Structure 1
Amino acid sequence: MLLDQPNHLAEEIEKIEIKLLLEGIYQRYGYDFRNYAFSSIRRRIWYRAQIEEVHSISEFQAKVLYDSDLMRKLLSDFSINVTEMFRDPGFFKVFRLKVVPILRELPYIRIWHAGCSSGEEAYSMAIVLHEEGLYEKAQIYATDMDEKIIERAKQGKITLDHMKLYTKNYQKAGGTKEFSEYYSVTDNYVTLKPFLKKNLIFAHHNLVTDHSFNEFHMIVCRNVLIYFNKQLTNRVYDLFYDSLSDGGFLGLGSKESINMYKSSSTYEEIDTVERLYKKVK
């Protein structure tokens, strides 16, 4: 019995408190984190609760529901803002080799970077399309649920100390020019060249609650679904399926697989290592 196991009882009560907090956030602010992976969301809640010097989730819930500024901080904590330019270079190299030849035959190209964080991978895609002579007929949509990080992405500014790694990534990804051609340096920052923003739209979109907003020839959503539970993961896969054109491509992260999708047979595997798939039904 739970009453005979204090540690288990405390864990059960904590789960109840977290469920109530997430339900309260949904009812009060409209953000739905109820189907995020529990261990991940628990860690982020306690991180902010400790900063706020509260000692229980119930106490924290009361503060969050009455304090919209605190909610904004918690929303930022919930956002997954880990990214870099040409992250996992092999993915972009495979994109050049296996997807670009097909996109080249299209009259126009629409690509969606879902969960784009601060935009580095979307800018990387713009560079690849530019080098392949496709950027002029392309439109890249880069979305995230965190409006603050979207505003940062629009600036196209990156700290200078990242550029050594980003240059190596670019070269491994099959870059054909000097990477320095794509940015200018000011003090401790680099600013990406304005032409990379020409056909790149940053916008707010929540994968959990929002719907499809266009039809795309490729969707890139890498290292986001690992934070969702199975129910939510399938919902997002449904969203991607509905958003892809026939024969469209889906790019996932290295720890994600279309095999988790209840309708995985609707996709053909294009590259096993780089988790690249093609919609076939």
Structure 2
Amino acid sequence: MMPDGAVSTDSVEDADFDLELRLLLEAIHAKYCYDFRGYSFASMRRRMKQVLTALGCDTLSQVQDRVLRDRRVFSEVLQLLTVPFSEMFRDPPYFLSIREQVAPHLRTYPSIKVWIAGCSTGEELYSMAILLAEEGLLDRSLIYATDVNPEALLAAERGVYAFEQVRSFSANYQRSGGRRSLSDYYAAAYGGVAFDRSLRSRVVFADHSLATDSVFAEVHLVSCRNVLIYFNRALQSRAVGLFRDSLVHMGFLGLGMRETLRFSEHAGAFLDFVPEHRIYRRR
């Protein structure tokens, strides 16, 4: 039992870690203009502990010193902070709903613009491109694939994935209503599989931060999945506001299965469309 008024060593260390974390995020913003200050603090804690291990540092103050003095170290930290787990056709019912319930509405437009926000290494991008191709929509679509991480964007543009990922990709594709074999869209290359270049012929890759950048286009569909869960409430609100302002009247917004508009200040701007699969429609 601790004496009255005593503070545990663990509590002090946690407080020091949190202070160092806030200082590091401020330093990254000041030096490199990447703003992680509105990201979920719990998520940042977890990821920064991975950074400590990866860099062999004992404290975040040591990380800050290295990040500020060496951009290559910052690039390594950026990968650890921004590249989440992803897979093609993740949450197949979502893509089945896009195919069966959203695509018929998109088909009424002479041309279509789609924004994949937070595209990471491209798995969702290629999923959407395949879906649009199978629905006869890709040739009249323009897809904006954006992310804050330039290395992730380069990986997305390459479209190369490990062999061991293909089995789960294929299973998800079939469950999402795929009409062919996923193997029709890729070939063995570079020690893995490379997706057909035709799938990215209608794609614009661009660096864009939901934390600091503004609306850049009017679009018919925004798909931003499993990104908002890493943001605090204020940054979630900012991002949803960008989506609202980007969408055409009655355009569509798709979120991840753990994300919702229910508590957003912008909830009134959207109608539930397929709420069980987190698809909404702009009023």
Relative to the length of structure 1, the TM-score reads: 0.95
How many Å separate the matches in 1 of 2:248 and 2:5?
52
CA deviations over 1:137-159 (Å, ceiling 9, x no partner): 10111111110111111111122
2:218 to 215, 218, 222: 215
Quick one: structure 1 residues 128 and 51, their matched pair in 2 at CA, closer, same or farther if it must change by over 3 Å?
A: closer
CA contact (8 A) 2:113 2:218 kept: yes
Contact in 2 for aligned 1:2/1:9 (Cα 8 Å): no
Counterpart check, 1:99 vs 2:102: yes
Alignment-derived partner of residue 17 in structure 1: 20
Work out the number of aligned pairs and report it. Answer: 280
Q: Which runs of 5+ in 2 are unaligned?
A: none
Counterpart mapping for 1:1-281 below 5 A: 4-186=7-189, 188-280=191-283
Change (3 A) 1:268 1:154: same
- In structure 1, the gaps of 5 or more residues are none
How far the C-alpha of 1:187 sits from its partner, in A, is 6.9
* Distance in structure 1 (CA, Å) of the matches to 2:134 and 2:56: 51
Q: CA deviation at 1:80?
A: 3.0
Alpha-carbon distance between aligned partners in 1 of 2:135 and 2:10, rounded to the nearest angstrom: 59
User: Which is worse superposed, 152-161 or 137-146?
Assistant: 152-161
SS in 1 for 2:277: coil
What is the CA–CA distance in structure 1 between the aligned matches of 2:191 and 2:182, rounded to whole Å? 17
Q: Secondary structure at the match of 1:218?
A: strand
Secondary structure at the counterpart of residue 256 of structure 1: coil
Provide the rounded CA distance (Å) in 1 between the counterparts of 2:147 and 2:264.
22
Structure 2 residue identity aligned to 1:131: E
Instruction: Give per-residue Cα distances to partners, 1:205-262, cap 9 Å, x unaligned.
Output: 1111111110110000000110111111111111111111111100000000011311
Quick check: 2:221–2:251 contact (8 Å CA) kept in 1?
Answer: yes
- The two structures, once aligned, show a CA RMSD in angstroms of 1.6
Q: Contact (CA 8 Å) 2:160, 2:190: kept in 1 or not?
A: no
**TM-score, length-scaled by structure 2:** 0.94
Kept in 1, the 8 Å contact 2:83–2:152? The answer is no
Secondary structure of 2:252 counterpart: strand
- Deviation for aligned residue 1:95: 0.5
Match of 2:28, SS?
Answer: helix
Residue 132 of structure 1 and its aligned partner are, at CA, apart by: 0.9
**8 Å CA contact retained: 1:254, 1:274:** yes
Measure, in 2, the Cα distance between the counterparts of 1:264 and 1:187: 45
Q: Higher mean Cα deviation, 198-207 or 29-38?
A: 198-207
* Identical-pair percentage: 38
- Counterpart of 1:128 in structure 2: which amino acid? L
> Which AA in structure 2 matches 1:198?
S
Q: 1:208 to 1:2 in 2, by over 3 A?
A: farther
1:98-144 residue CA offsets vs partner (Å, 9 max, x unmatched): 11111111011000000111111111111111111111110111111
CA contact (8 A) 1:123 1:196 kept: yes
